[in-house]
Structures are given as structure tokens and as C-alpha cells.
């Protein structure tokens, strides 16, 4: 399934039904009086979050969502039928914005949570409602009110405890496939991952946390370079970040330069991403050249106050230690 995390749609709630002008006309009942009923309520447009959905793909190609109007009032004081609501299902973690003003209307973060994005119009009152002691036979009724209509923008931000960040080909996809049931595409070229992948990591006695593999970032990502800002926003909801570095000779880069470059992109993107706690791991320690450089790199980072966790996502070496450290940090933040 194609991953779509943004969609612009038009919503129009149903208009209210018009009130009825009617008079009671029965044999042996002179001056029966007005008995026009009220119009029915127009249908609402409701957005509901569901864990069964993971993308906004359906809404990308189905942009118009219009509810039916309420039924008109009838004689004998019969109220018009109210119209059913139109329900739009979105993934959990979807933000609803007004397309014109950019105002955030709602942030849906729980399964089953609902938000009425467009209210249906109220039905107009029938002439029976306007009868008074001085006007016993009103010959007018109200029209129904118009339902709300607007263009809205839906933005999906993944809900995960841990976001994996790092340069392309650092081994993020291999790591998430090692620790969870997620099966992202893995290959030996940059930007293999073109969509975020979610995995559930199990540890201890039936304890779990959700981890997200964020597609590779590069210098200039906050300005749209590479995969750009398309996936940076998915980092916003995470509790902490797992920063995976590749120190193998294949990169022809300094691990410290990569570390600073990624953090610079987080800072420039804003939204307090740079303030999120990070756990830093060196990957690919199963390679001979990496093992030879590992101690030197660990000392280099340690002098700058950064603890490193050497791992091999391929063989699993060091992964259990890293998972325990992540779980400990998550638990500490839940308690605080």
C-alpha cells in the first residue's frame, strides 16, 4: 500500500430541511389551525480515527465529502427526517487543519476518537411554531439553515515511542527488522526507505514499545533536500530518538560530522526536535574495518559527553543491550 501522509479534502455538511406551512383541515373541526412541522437536521461530516488505517491514500483520490440535507417538514406536525452523518476514517495521529487559515482544528490521537469537522444545518421551524394569540394562522415557515462547508488539510504524524534517525544506509531498516516484525525494504543504496515503518518491540515480561524507522535524512533536509521535510514531522511525536551512525569505511565520512549534520537538520526544522533525548548507536561492528575504528570513535564521543552503544543490526550483537537502554529511558520518562 502506498504511504500518503497528507491530503486536502472538501467537506460539506447537509442543509437543514425547510419548515412546512400547513393547516389542519378535518370535517367538523372548524379553524383547525396551523400544523406545519419542522424541517429535519442536515447530516454532519465526522472524522474518526482508526488503527485499521495507516495511510491517507483513500482521501487523496476521494476529495469531496458531502452529507445529505434534512427532510422538509410536513403537515400534521410531522418533523422532517434527519440525515445520516458522513464519516471519514483516518489513521490515528492525524491532524486536521483549516486549508484557508492553517488553523489546527483537531489532533486525533486515540483509536475511535471523533471530530465533527462540519456541522449540519438546523431544520427550519414550521408555521405551527409561529402561532400566537394575535396571529392564529401564520402563513410562513423558516427555511433550513445551510450546513458548514470548507476545505481542510489532513496531516498524518506517526505515533511512536522511538524514532530512528540517521544518514541513508546507516542500517535503520535492518535494525527495525531485527527487533520487530516490521519488514521494510532493505538494499545497498541510499533512500531505500521511502516511507516510515512502524514496528512493535517486545521486551521483558509482556512489555512493548513502538519504534518508527524514519527515512534517511541528509544535509538540507529541513529545506526539502533528499526526502526533505516530508518525514521530519513524524519525529515530532516520539518520546526519544535513536540515532544510528555508520562508521564503516564505505561511508567516506566522519561519524562526528554525520552526527552534527543530522542534529543540525533537527534544529533548523524546529518544533523542539533538537530537545528530544537521543540514544546514539554505532552500527556495522561486524565489519572488520569498523571494529578497528570502534574504540577510537567511542573515546571521541565519550569526551564530548555522549555514550555510544556499538551494535550490529545484521548479527544482533549489542542489540539487546541497546533495547534495554531504550526501555529504561522510556520508563523513566513515563514515571516523570
65-78 pLDDT, tens digit per residue, is 999 999 999 999 99
In a shared domain, residues 150 and 167 = no
In a shared domain, residues 118 and 78 = yes
Q: What local confidence, expressed as pLDDT, does residue 272 receive?
A: 74
Q: Is the pLDDT of residue 103 over 70?
A: yes
Q: Which residue has the cell 556495522?
A: 284
249-280 pLDDT, tens digit per residue, is 665 678 888 898 888 888 887 767 788 899 99
Q: Is residue 170 part of a domain?
A: yes
Q: Is residue 1 part of a domain?
A: no
In a shared domain, residues 167 and 142 = no
In a shared domain, residues 309 and 279 = yes
Q: Which of 16, 76, 13, 15 lies closest to 47, judged by CA?
A: 13
Domain that holds residue 54: 6-156
In a shared domain, residues 174 and 52 = no
% of the chain beyond a pLDDT of 70: 85
Q: 245: which 3 cell numbers? A: 551512525
Q: Is residue 273 part of a domain?
A: yes
Q: What local confidence, expressed as pLDDT, does residue 71 receive?
A: 97
> How does residue 226 score in pLDDT terms, banded at 50, 70 and 90?
very low
Average pLDDT over residues 88-102: 93
Q: Which of 92, 90, 70 lies closest to 81, judged by CA?
A: 70
In a shared domain, residues 183 and 237 = yes
Q: Is residue 263 part of a domain?
A: yes
Tell which of 156, 171, 191 closes a domain.
Answer: 156
Name the most confidently modeled range: 48-57, 151-160, 195-204, 319-328: 319-328
Q: What is the dihedral of CA 326, 174, 216, 96, to 10 degrees?
A: -70
Which residue would you say has higher pLDDT here, 322 or 60? 322
Q: Is the pLDDT of residue 126 over 50?
A: yes
Q: Any idea what the CATH number is for the domain that residue 224 is in?
A: 3.40.50.300
158-190 pLDDT, tens digit per residue, is 777 898 888 877 888 888 888 886 554 444 544
Q: What local confidence, expressed as pLDDT, does residue 187 receive?
A: 42
Contact present, 45 and 85 (Cβ < 8 Å): yes
Name the most confidently modeled range: 128-132, 189-193, 206-210, 259-263: 128-132
Tell which of 111, 133, 156 closes a domain.
Answer: 156
In a shared domain, residues 239 and 97 = no
Q: Is the pLDDT of residue 54 over 60?
A: yes
In a shared domain, residues 219 and 319 = yes
Mean pLDDT across the chain: 84
pTM: 0.68
Conformational region of residue 321, where left means phi above 0, alpha means psi within -120 to 50, and beta covers everything else: alpha
Q: Is the pLDDT of residue 310 over 80?
A: yes
In a shared domain, residues 139 and 28 = yes
Query: What distance in Å separates the CA atoms of residue 260 and residue 149, rounded to the nearest whole number?
Result: 46
Q: Is the pLDDT of residue 195 over 80?
A: no
Average pLDDT over residues 196-206: 75
Q: What local confidence, expressed as pLDDT, does residue 269 receive?
A: 75
Tell which of 112, 135, 156 closes a domain.
Answer: 156
Q: State how many domains the chain has.
A: 2
Q: Is residue 63 part of a domain?
A: yes
Distances (CA, A) of 233 to 4, 221, 254, 266, 270: 13, 12, 26, 10, 10
Amino acid at each position: 500500500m502506498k504511504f500518503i501522509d497528507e491530503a486536502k479534502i472538501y467537506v460539506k455538511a447537509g442543509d437543514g430541511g425547510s419548515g412546512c406551512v400547513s393547516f389542519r383541515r378535518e370535517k367538523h373541526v372548524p379553524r383547525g389551525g396551523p400544523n406545519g412541522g419542522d424541517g429535519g437536521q442536515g447530516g454532519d461530516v465526522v472524522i474518526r480515527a482508526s488503527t485499521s488505517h495507516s495511510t491517507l491514500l483513500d482521501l487523496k483520490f476521494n476529495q469531496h465529502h458531502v452529507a445529505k440535507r434534512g427532510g422538509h417538514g410536513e403537515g400534521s406536525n410531522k418533523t422532517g427526517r434527519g440525515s445520516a452523518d458522513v464519516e471519514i476514517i483516518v489513521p490515528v495521529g492525524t491532524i486536521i487543519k483549516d486549508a484557508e487559515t492553517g488553523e489546527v482544528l483537531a489532533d486525533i490521537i486515540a483509536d475511535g476518537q471523533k471530530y465533527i469537522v462540519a456541522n449540519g444545518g438546523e431544520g427550519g421551524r414550521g408555521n405551527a411554531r409561529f402561532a400566537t394569540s394575535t396571529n392564529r394562522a401564520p402563513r410562513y415557515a423558516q427555511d433550513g439553515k445551510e450546513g458548514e462547508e470548507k476545505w481542510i488539510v489532513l496531516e498524518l504524524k506517526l505515533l511512536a515511542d522511538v524514532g530512528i534517525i540517521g544518514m541513508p544506509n546507516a542500517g535503520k531498516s535492518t535494525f527495525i527488522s531485527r527487533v520487530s516484525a516490521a519488514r521494510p525494504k532493505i538494499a545497498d543504496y541510499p533512500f531505500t526507505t521511502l516511507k516510515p515503518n512502524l514496528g512493535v518491540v517486545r521486551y521483558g515480561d509482556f512489555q512493548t514499545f513502538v519504534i518508527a524507522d524514519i527515512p534517511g535524512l541528509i544535509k538540507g533536509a529541513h529545506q526539502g533536500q533528499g526526502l526533505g521535510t516530508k518525514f521530519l514531522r513524524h519525529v515530532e511525536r516520539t518520546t526519544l530518538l535513536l540515532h544510528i551512525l555508520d562508521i564503516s569505511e564505505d561511508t567516506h565520512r566522519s561519524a562526528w560530522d554525520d552526527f552534527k549534520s543530522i542534529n543540525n537538520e533537527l534544529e533548523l526544522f524546529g518544533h523542539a526536535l533538537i530537545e528530544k533525548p537521543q540514544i546514539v548507536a554505532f552500527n556495522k561492528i561486524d565489519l572488520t574495518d569498523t571494529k578497528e575504528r570502534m574504540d577510537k570513535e567511542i573515546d571521541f564521543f565519550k569526551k564530548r559527553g555522549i555514550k555510544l552503544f556499538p551494535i550490529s543490526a545484521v548479527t544482533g550483537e549489542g542489540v539487546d543491550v541497546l533495547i534495554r537502554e531504550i526501555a529504561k529511558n522510556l520508563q523513566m520518562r513515563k514515571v516523570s
